[in-house]
Structure 1
């Protein structure tokens, strides 16, 4: 017997077509997929035995896709703030990770991060960290759709000794979770300044063999570009192009420092961009040329980065920031409209992950990854345009319901797959352990 649920929001925002808002409409979930979008009155008539849920003064839309995150780093939130990127990494984050990161750390931190993301309307995360199998287990436990980015570096950590070691662990994780619903994998070479040419070549070869994509920090800082010019005689993007990385299978995180030639190369090769506005601001990395990218047809999604450099996994807040920054950076108040920002946080992220035919918009046949946002609060009244209100005025605390694969993971702000008290206890335990050393 198939389970049928009919959701009746005040506003139904399918994302496809762009800027469309349906009123007096229902969305029908059949098991894990979207079965129909139709007038509410017809839904009651056609599905009399279904569970009917009325979402008064709420908008129903696709779940957010966090295109770049280091989930487990939420356990390092606030540990080292107000520093530039390389000081933050080399003097604080990498030493803390060397001392504390383990399978247990990554599972506990990822689970906490996934709870935070679900409470903010994120239903899919494209992660990048260590202990790949721990991230996958956390995704399964939480119910969040999880893309596990298997980190690769040329220097040792507690997880592996060298690039070959990281790649071997990636293969093992990919094999261990083969066929697991809701979990997939990418190779995640950290950055051009931490991965050498031979290791990048191995990444490309393995990604082709496993038929999985690649996720990498690229052009995050001006120093990264300057160092590459000194060391290789070319910008990082050009070097990666020569090594065979640039293709629609690559997600380039940050891409803050991109000149016209870089943008042309990105457009030509079909690379996707994970824009991280909050992290870019906090680490003083700069202002990505998002409006120029989109004008060239480059697909740009939104990421939070890790909560050690954000400091929250709030995609709704970050999509507002992305819209505002694009206007200021381009000097064009019409740049990155609310509807385009919402598309970046949903369908654009899904396309970057190769999941555009599965999630990212409310289309019949797609997986039922949905969220409801309550706009009844004083802070989001009156509602002239619900899309504009979501992007520019709503807060993540107004996300009321979350479904992934048709399964309700949060109802009326209450998580259904994780126990809040246990998450808080784990966070406190890790704080005590890390602060005492």
Structure 2
């Protein structure tokens, strides 16, 4: 018996799925199928072969659907979702004026709602994995883990291990920090969707001992340490004043650069620092939207790809839209390097899809677990409607996914074989109710937090800018 496409057909036990198009690591193919069982891709291959091999399974035809791996967000801040647009139009280092006050005002309920709201947005945007860089909210990190579990998204969960203040003074006992790090890494042993990692906000807020030890602990646990590295001019200057070295140089000097390092942003790198990343095997989270919105530069992701430097794509909590992210990743490279170099390809569409899926998974410590449609990998995937005018006729699917596809085309979002969203909304819990509750609580949190912005929201700032222009005209 042949099934028609409906959410129920994606929720039953073992399933034999026949999409119109299947995105494999080597590219898109037709007349292929997948068998999903026990949360994994049990089999992947030619449709006729799998139908013969599994005669007891009723094939589920997915006409007009592309089955592709879910995207992996390599850098997020889940508890900042209440204040996303507060960063619009602000200068680069907003963590002191916006994010620290906002996160500091969260309690368990509001932190849970903020994280769950961010997870829902990520799922709606095509991400099946989010990597949280560690919250500064005064709550147990399991609050974030609960939010991820309750939405069904896979979460790489960071624990902040800072033991110094931004001024370089002792803030927390180092032994206490390292004991907490060890507990965090062992806390989620055997967890289905939560993968623990360690994090240091910036190199200057951790002692040399903490930087070295967290790196060793992460390496032994097969995970990563997330550190914001060379993100802004102010960060580079602060490190030069404090240590006489740039942030990445300092991490290298204290023995904290290696395959376990996930360097967030890495936008301001010298040729020598690119060499450090290449030779050490460290990974980078390339966050192109964050660079455009609040950065001083764009990471040289194209050069990283050519040199074999590992990197994934991250949102930095800017917006949870995977297709706009891969578009921004390519577009930023084209504007900053491709146009000047006369390079019309800028890596080709497959480069940005790979670094948004399987290579992003590898960068955050989930290599071999998710990020591609391969037998044995977690069944984290999207069904994408390719019947619209954006994708018909189709000549180059990878490029079309990068430049033309959108989250409104996502029919289903599946994580570990479980249907999380159908046409953008969950079926097992009330998504709209969460959004309304989060909006209500978020309004209160932001109003109570001691946030400082350089100018008011745009509707209030616009009249001020108009008066300023008139004043300049009068002076002229």
TM-score (normalizing by structure 1)? 0.91
Shift of 1:168: 4.2
Helix, strand or coil for the counterpart of 1:73? Answer: helix
Inter-partner Cα distance in structure 2 for 1:40 and 1:411? 24
TM-score (normalizing by structure 2)? 0.84
Q: Is the 8 A contact 1:326 1:336 kept in 2?
A: no
Shift of 1:235: 1.5
Q: Is the 8 A contact 2:124 2:320 kept in 1?
A: no
Q: 1:77 aligns with which of 70, 84, 90?
A: 84
| Residue in 2 that maps onto 1:96 | 102
Inter-partner Cα distance in structure 2 for 1:409 and 1:175? 27
Q: 1:9 aligns with which of 15, 19, 24?
A: 19
Inter-partner Cα distance in structure 2 for 1:380 and 1:101? 43
Q: Is the 8 A contact 1:114 1:139 kept in 2?
A: yes
Question: What is the CA deviation profile of residues 149-176 of structure 1, one whole-angstrom value per residue up to 9, with x for unaligned ones?
Answer: 111224579xx96264554444444443
- Answering whether residue 240 of structure 2 is matched by residue 235 of structure 1, we say no
In 2 relative to 1, CA 54–163 (structure 1 residues): closer, same or farther, beyond 3 Å? farther
* Unaligned residue ranges in structure 1 (runs of 5+): none
Mapping of residues 346-425 of structure 1, within 5 Å: 346-425=357-436
Question: What is the CA deviation profile of residues 123-181 of structure 1, one whole-angstrom value per residue up to 9, with x for unaligned ones?
Answer: 11111222311111122212211111111224579xx9626455444444444332211
* Unaligned residue ranges in structure 2 (runs of 5+): 1-11, 449-476
Q: Is the 8 A contact 2:311 2:355 kept in 1?
A: yes
Helix, strand or coil for the counterpart of 2:85? Answer: coil
| Residue in 2 that maps onto 1:105 | 110
Q: 1:259 aligns with which of 243, 250, 270?
A: 270
Q: Is the 8 A contact 1:141 1:417 kept in 2?
A: no
- Answering whether residue 261 of structure 2 is matched by residue 250 of structure 1, we say yes
Q: Is the 8 A contact 2:163 2:177 kept in 1?
A: no
Mapping of residues 260-409 of structure 1, within 5 Å: 260-306=271-317, 310=318, 312-331=319-338, 332-409=343-420
- Answering whether residue 192 of structure 2 is matched by residue 181 of structure 1, we say yes
Inter-partner Cα distance in structure 2 for 1:350 and 1:105? 29
Shift of 1:210: 4.7
| Residue in 2 that maps onto 1:147 | 156
Shift of 1:202: 4.0
- Answering whether residue 47 of structure 2 is matched by residue 40 of structure 1, we say yes
Inter-partner Cα distance in structure 1 for 2:329 and 2:355? 9
Shift of 1:336: 2.3
Q: How many residues align?
A: 425
Q: Is the 8 A contact 2:225 2:261 kept in 1?
A: yes
Helix, strand or coil for the counterpart of 2:34? Answer: strand
Q: Which moved more, 1:295-304 or 1:363-372?
A: 363-372
Helix, strand or coil for the counterpart of 1:414? Answer: coil
| Residue in 2 that maps onto 1:136 | 145
Shift of 1:34: 1.2
| Residue in 2 that maps onto 1:119 | 124
Inter-partner Cα distance in structure 2 for 1:121 and 1:239? 36
Question: What is the CA deviation profile of residues 61-113 of structure 1, one whole-angstrom value per residue up to 9, with x for unaligned ones?
Answer: 11111000011211222234211122x22222222222x22322222111111
Inter-partner Cα distance in structure 2 for 1:232 and 1:119? 43
Q: Is the 8 A contact 1:143 1:417 kept in 2?
A: no
In 2 relative to 1, CA 342–168 (structure 1 residues): closer, same or farther, beyond 3 Å? same
Inter-partner Cα distance in structure 2 for 1:65 and 1:435? 29
Inter-partner Cα distance in structure 1 for 2:77 and 2:422? 26
Inter-partner Cα distance in structure 2 for 1:109 and 1:238? 35
In 2 relative to 1, CA 188–197 (structure 1 residues): closer, same or farther, beyond 3 Å? same
Inter-partner Cα distance in structure 2 for 1:167 and 1:426? 36
Larger Rg: 2
Inter-partner Cα distance in structure 1 for 2:219 and 2:333? 35
Helix, strand or coil for the counterpart of 1:294? Answer: helix
Inter-partner Cα distance in structure 2 for 1:125 and 1:351? 13
In 2 relative to 1, CA 155–243 (structure 1 residues): closer, same or farther, beyond 3 Å? closer
Q: Over the residues paired in the alignment, what is the CA RMSD in angstroms?
A: 2.2
Q: Is the 8 A contact 2:222 2:365 kept in 1?
A: no
Helix, strand or coil for the counterpart of 1:54? Answer: strand
